[in-house]
Structure 1
């Protein structure tokens, strides 16, 4: 039963929550990216990184996308999932991967960054408006081994927390109770390899939209919902006072860099409560919420734009974040300098 849902709650639409194979205790979500002044340069850098993702210990799922960050730089991002953290560890420690990543130049116009998270299953939740067999969306549930049973724990404020098993026994309070981002000087991050010690219980969300198979709701989504969603992500990216450490609005791409009819947002928050406070009370998210229900209330027929999200709360030591020659506003770099170590390469 929902722990915070209203009595007799009946969701207004059908949704599904992913269930990983029995015996899975944790999985890995990693972002590897190239940051450059032009999209072409960023795509070239990401293509070089993508060549590392093969082999027996490579990721189970790889998605690709790009976004323009608040500094005006282009970022081409590879989003990879491993269902076995041991396989990811062998991949990360393999000679080809270590040689290429550790040998990336810390000089020049391009930068590189990676953020890798080992996510305990009990600290993760997902929600899909369509089953995987209806739409081949990207992300955690893309593997055929992942089940998508229907869930009633949605469509009320606090449902995401209720779908995180650990929230029944843990407060998931932030290890960084006061968020005071301090953007470093460019001299501290450009020409350097910077590793950030990420505080415990930060929240990670990846939320996505797929209109590739849509006919009934395609134009409504693109005209009435997507612009509102984009404004909300822009607000988060530009306002760390919201508790959002970093927000990225990505257009997804094929393996060769061609733009797809899919998009996703990846954002880091100081805590789950900061994320949920923005969701339930800030005008930018309330506008997203309203535009979605105005669209689905139109009565044209079954919703044929697929939506899904993944939310995780990461324990201390489970996030590995490293930035090579990056703009000081990238990712976790704006955290207080007491959380960083730097090395000139």
Structure 2
């Protein structure tokens, strides 16, 4: 849930309501200046069950807050439910992160179906040769381009395609010690920033409906040692922060697989990472915190509502496509 434009009182009230209700919340900022839309606060919240969320959302305090939002409030919510057979999670440290914060089970080593192209698909229980979890979209949807126009009022999405693919990639560099910082600076810093910038600039023609680069300003900036590598001026400056989270929605899983295999920067980055951070690598016991979440959504398991937001916000940008619909 996110307010698209700043309103201090509403932000403070909403922050209190959400953090006292959810199991865990990542509080971030999404800077959309490249598209001319400024910054938004983004709360990525996790709940033990859909019932817990529904109970919270229907409490008198929350219901009153949400129903009282004016038509130009600039708030939106995108609520996702996943069965375990359509969702995977990985993390590099024994630190609950993202969806791992709601698990009642201890973290376990990933000893199979890992480290090769196609591993994510192989770990999804519902993905089979007969059911590849393809999108129900009949063609490539065309989004509204951001021009600063605001859709007044309360807009509830009433239709989604099946098998949209949701991806979270999170990084936190703050735990790294001096040796790891040197290795990261020399081998990974420039490649990682280039790869993530490439991903976030992917278009719907290559499967990405939309993406959000979220960062935690309070985490500070990553310490990077001087190297001989020429600085790339064409990367998102938010990637300089220690803790950041990329939120990505693809039309289906095949595009996630394709971008990883086809992007030359990612192929190079992945090879170097496996060499250094793999079981026999020098950084196999490093402190860098990475986490990945990926899920394939049934249409009935998505809710989205936009109250006075830019008309290019999230799924709202696609409401003219037959695969999506909105009720005003």
State the TM-score, normalizing by the size of structure 1.
Answer: 0.76
Contact 2:70 2:153 in 1 (8 A): no
Q: Any idea what SS the aligned residue of 1:119 has?
A: coil
The Cα of 1:331 is off from its aligned counterpart by 1.1
Deviations 1:35-64 (A, max 9, x none): 22xxxx377654332121255xx2211111
Contact 1:190 1:328 in 2 (8 A): yes
Contact 1:35 1:42 in 2 (8 A): no
Contact 1:61 1:81 in 2 (8 A): yes
Change (3 A) 1:139 1:188: same
Match of 2:109 in 1: 150
Deviations 1:79-124 (A, max 9, x none): 11111211111112222212212222222xx611111001111110
Question: How far apart are the structure 2 equivalents of 1:251 and 1:112?
Answer: 19
Question: How far apart are the structure 2 equivalents of 1:208 and 1:65?
Answer: 12
Q: 1:49 aligns with which of 3, 11, 14?
A: 14
Change (3 A) 1:342 1:85: closer
Match of 2:264 in 1: 283
Q: Any idea what SS the aligned residue of 1:98 has?
A: helix
Q: Does 1:225 find its partner at 2:185?
A: no
Contact 1:174 1:271 in 2 (8 A): yes
The Cα of 1:247 is off from its aligned counterpart by 1.0
Contact 1:233 1:248 in 2 (8 A): no
The Cα of 1:144 is off from its aligned counterpart by 6.3
Question: How far apart are the structure 1 equivalents of 2:103 and 2:209?
Answer: 33
The Cα of 1:274 is off from its aligned counterpart by 1.1
Question: How far apart are the structure 1 equivalents of 2:299 and 2:12?
Answer: 31
Q: 1:241 aligns with which of 200, 205, 210?
A: 205
State the TM-score, normalizing by the size of structure 2.
Answer: 0.80
Deviations 1:4-60 (A, max 9, x none): xxxxxxxxxxxxxxxxxxxxxxxxxxxx11222xxxx377654332121255xx221
Match of 2:235 in 1: none
Aligned residues: 296
Greater shift, 113-122 or 258-267, is seen at: 258-267
Instruction: Give the root-mean-square deviation of aligned CA atoms.
Output: 2.7
Match of 1:274 in 2: 255
The Cα of 1:294 is off from its aligned counterpart by 6.2
The Cα of 1:130 is off from its aligned counterpart by 2.2
Question: How far apart are the structure 1 equivalents of 2:186 and 2:124?
Answer: 33
Unaligned segments of structure 2, at least 5 residues: 221-241
Runs of 4+ with deviation above 6 angstroms: 184-188
Contact 1:202 1:271 in 2 (8 A): yes
The Cα of 1:310 is off from its aligned counterpart by 0.8
Match of 1:172 in 2: 133
The Cα of 1:174 is off from its aligned counterpart by 0.5
Question: How far apart are the structure 2 equivalents of 1:75 and 1:86?
Answer: 28
The Cα of 1:222 is off from its aligned counterpart by 5.5
Question: How far apart are the structure 1 equivalents of 2:209 and 2:194?
Answer: 17
Question: How far apart are the structure 2 equivalents of 1:106 and 1:219?
Answer: 50
**Matches of residues 133-144 of structure 1 in structure 2 within 5 Å?**
137-143=96-102
